[in-house]
């Protein structure tokens, strides 16, 4: 049996959802209505309390774990990644069109569980730690249109979100950062008030773009470096890595690489060690427990 085309998938899924989720998400308030119980995802997120946060730990394609968000938080991650598609007026989470289902919305998997978590923890995601969670949102289609819908849906959650108003940043419990489709940049730059920030690329380094708009610079590891963790890192590549990080940090921007080696073993650990030595801000992984063990051992070794 042949797989349906991408156009067929978009049309059929959009049509199936046309009458669903008609109302926008409810605004976040200090207390939930008495009759409303948290969703199972929200309850799981609230239950995962007490883990020491790891400021460099980034959960790549977090939604592919058994418990999106909750699994990453239970391992101390402080950055999670969600890919979203604008389909039938809804923001659906998944890597490919064929992965999408109507119930897996950005609100259901991330925003609502985060509200429950922040309420339970006195205003922050990790109890006892005033460390914002980075919610990296990768726009998979219709960049400008998707961003404008995302902006509309973020606003009811604004009390827990980091915001930027005329270049002044107010830090909240959750900081959305927009990645993926580059067409989101223009409408974001035009806003005087935003509840999301922009994920830049290496060409943005040293251009004077303010950190209040572009706090993160991301790059594909394999597009910049040939070294994959076997043998010592070439001296020229190590110098280039450190210059990238230095250039970003001069402008108070953070650095992340995707597509780093992620198969357990010495090569992956060698790359992770070089990233730490260069002071890269976020280490990308699908292996939550593996990175937690590595970073915990690294921190203990420095104590």
Is 37 inside a domain boundary? no
Is 303 inside a domain boundary? no
What's phi and psi for 144, nearest 5 deg?
-70, -45
Residues 6+ apart with CB under 8 A from 203: none
Is 10 inside a domain boundary? no
**pLDDT at position 165, please?**
98
Distances (CA, A) of 152 to 90, 147, 290: 11, 9, 36
**Which of helix, strand or coil describes residue 184?**
helix
Taking the alpha carbons at both ends of the chain, their separation in whole angstroms is: 58
**Which of helix, strand or coil describes residue 137?**
strand
Spatial separation of the C-alpha atoms in residues 221 and 226, rounded to whole Å: 8
Residue closest to 182 by CA, chosen among 222, 224, 214, 223: 214
Beta bridge partners of 285: 59
Is 87 inside a domain boundary? yes
Is 67 inside a domain boundary? yes
Per-residue pLDDT of the chain (303 residues; tens, 9 = 90+): 444 444 344 434 554 444 333 333 333 333 333 333 344 454 444 444 458 999 999 999 999 999 999 999 999 999 999 999 999 999 999 999 999 999 999 999 999 999 999 999 999 999 999 999 999 999 999 889 999 999 999 999 999 999 999 999 999 999 999 999 999 999 999 999 999 999 999 999 999 999 999 999 999 999 999 999 999 999 999 999 999 999 999 999 999 999 999 999 999 999 999 999 999 999 999 999 999 999 999 988 886
Determine the structural domain holding residue 190 and report its residue range.
Answer: 45-298
Is 137 inside a domain boundary? yes
**pLDDT at position 300, please?**
87
Is 11 inside a domain boundary? no
Spatial separation of the C-alpha atoms in residues 75 and 57, rounded to whole Å: 9
Spatial separation of the C-alpha atoms in residues 109 and 68, rounded to whole Å: 6
Is 3 inside a domain boundary? no
The enclosing domain of 69 has a CATH number of 3.20.20.190
Spatial separation of the C-alpha atoms in residues 181 and 92, rounded to whole Å: 15
**pLDDT at position 284, please?**
97
Total domains present in the chain: 1
**pLDDT at position 13, please?**
52
pTM score: 0.85
């Amino acid at each position: 049996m042949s797989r349906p085309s991408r156009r067929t998938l978009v049309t059929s899924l959009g049509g199936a959802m046309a009458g669903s989720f008609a109302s926008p998400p409810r605004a976040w308030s200090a207390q939930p209505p008495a009759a409303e119980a948290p969703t199972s995802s929200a309850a799981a997120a609230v239950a995962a309390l007490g883990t020491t946060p790891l400021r460099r730990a980034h959960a790549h394609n977090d939604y592919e774990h058994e418990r999106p968000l909750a699994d990453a938080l239970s391992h101390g991650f402080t950055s999670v990644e969600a890919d979203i598609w604008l389909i039938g007026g809804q923001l659906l989470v998944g890597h490919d069109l064929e992965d999408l289902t109507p119930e897996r919305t950005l609100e259901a998997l991330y925003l609502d569980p985060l509200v429950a978590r922040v309420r339970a923890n006195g205003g922050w995601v990790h109890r006892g730690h005033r460390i914002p969670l980075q919610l990296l949102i990768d726009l998979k289609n219709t960049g400008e249109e998707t961003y404008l819908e995302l902006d509309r849906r973020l606003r009811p959650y604004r009390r827990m979100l980091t915001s930027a108003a005329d270049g002044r940043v107010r830090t909240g419990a959750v900081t959305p950062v927009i990645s993926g489709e580059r067409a989101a940049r223009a409408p974001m730059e035009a806003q005087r008030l935003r509840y999301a920030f922009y994920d830049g690329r290496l060409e943005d380094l040293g251009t004077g773009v303010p950190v209040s708009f572009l706090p993160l610079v991301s790059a594909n590891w394999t597009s910049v470096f040939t070294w994959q963790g076997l043998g010592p890192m070439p001296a020229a590549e190590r110098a280039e890595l450190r210059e990238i990080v230095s250039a970003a940090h001069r402008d108070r921007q953070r650095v992340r690489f995707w597509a780093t080696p992620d198969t357990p073993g010495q090569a992956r650990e060698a790359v992770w060690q070089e990233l730490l030595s260069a002071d890269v801000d976020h280490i990308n992984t699908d292996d939550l427990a593996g990175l937690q063990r590595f970073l915990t051992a690294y921190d203990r070794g420095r104590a």
